[in-house]
Structure 1
């Protein structure tokens, strides 16, 4: 029978997962709210130019 507590003690995450995690967290990714905010700023700028 598998002793889960013992298996957890021996667990080591693979390097690939750690490398992927650091790559993901080190990049400043643009999300939907950033895109919407940029579009609104551009729209405000264009409307200001028309006035």
Structure 2
């Protein structure tokens, strides 16, 4: 099977977009999960921590 530009473009326009949307939704759900507030607050304070 020869892969040319048009077939790769068709794949990226359809399934590639679905894949990227699924990854985006998974990341948003992961950051908004119920137990993530403490870890998010800890990460936000990293620049202000004194060594």
Answer yes or no: same fold by TM over 0.5. Answer: no
What is the TM-score normalised by the length of structure 1? 0.43
> Which structure features the higher share of helix residues?
2
* Bigger radius of gyration among the two: 1
